[in-house]
Amino acid sequence: MDILSETIAAIRTANPTSGMFVRHAPWGRSYPIVPGTGFHVVLQGSCWVLTPAGESIALGAGDVLLMPRGADHLLADDPGTPITEIARPGEPREIAGPGQRTALLCGAYALGGRRGHPMLDELPEFIHLPARPGRHPALRSAVDLLAGELAEPRPGSDAVVPALLDTLLLFALRAWFDEQAAARAAGWAGAFTDPAVAMTLRAIHEAPEKNWTVPELSELAGVSRATLARRFTATVGEPPLAYVTRWRMLTAARLLRETDTPLAGIARKVGYQSEFAFAKAFKREYSLAPGQYRRAIDAPDVIAV
């Protein structure tokens, strides 16, 4: 069980959306907060990101910027350039000007919705992955492939681009967690590298229908109950059985979105013997009964590009 892939699949509520825009200096754009996870990839030129906290981040060609919770921000060719645009649908893809040309791919992943995941919750508001030689070659390759498809669309591009966007997200998260693990940082980077925690997560993801107990999970992980509880909570952000409930609800929501499985069948798949007990637990987490949730699924709002 690939924990990262399964987690992203469980919290995805729609396909990624994206668009390319080109500006010539001077230019400045405002990006309002959006639901989901926003991203920018610099395909050509350079620019600056100005965050609500007053931080300025320089972006160069090949850099990836990920906003796990869709934070609002500004983009400009220079920190001192006035902001004259607000990112919105239908705006011109390219605006001519006297200065340097900058091309960016911008968009959003519909992740989280009404019920998030601690893996995303712990991430910083802005993740900058610079395109340094020899650093994260898989991510660099994904960026190059995306740039090529967008510059010269060919038969099949409509299928290739969404797949590459999915790949970009996974490679970006993998790169971030690899860096955190190398720095021995706390959190989910430790969950992926701690054998006992990783084994526990895989067991829960593979069989959310099981009536898991801490003794069963600790025996499976090969550590004491106290050790597992301490290490699991420190890395994942909540105790093992709380995560069991979270994963059950995320799995149920995914089944409601993506399948026509009857509610009784979904209840059994996520460990509830009765539809009533499942509906009560689901409503407690999502503030909607399962049937209401299934009927209420709409296309999510996305970042304007």
Query: Which CATH fold topology does 3-182 show?
Result: Jelly Rolls (2.60.120)
- Residue the block writes with tokens 């967008």: 150
- Kindly state the helix (H) or strand (E) to which residue 148 belongs, with its residue range: helix 137-151
pLDDT in tens, 73-129: 999 999 999 999 999 888 889 998 899 999 999 999 998 766 779 998 889 999 999
Average pLDDT of adjacent 10-residue blocks, the chain of 305 residues: 89 87 95 91 96 95 94 96 92 90 93 81 94 87 89 89 93 94 88 95 97 97 97 96 96 94 97 95 94 73 43
CATH architecture of 194-296: Orthogonal Bundle (1.10)
Q: Which residues of 189-203 are buried (b: 16+ CB within 10 A; e: fewer)?
A: bbbbbbebbbbbbbb
Which residue ranges make up each domain of the chain?
A: 3-182, 194-296
Q: Output the pTM of the full model.
A: 0.88
Q: Measured between alpha carbons, how far apart are the two ends of the chain, in Å?
A: 35
Amino acid at 240: P
Tokens of 256: 């409601």
CA angle 59, 63, 64 (to 5 degrees): 110
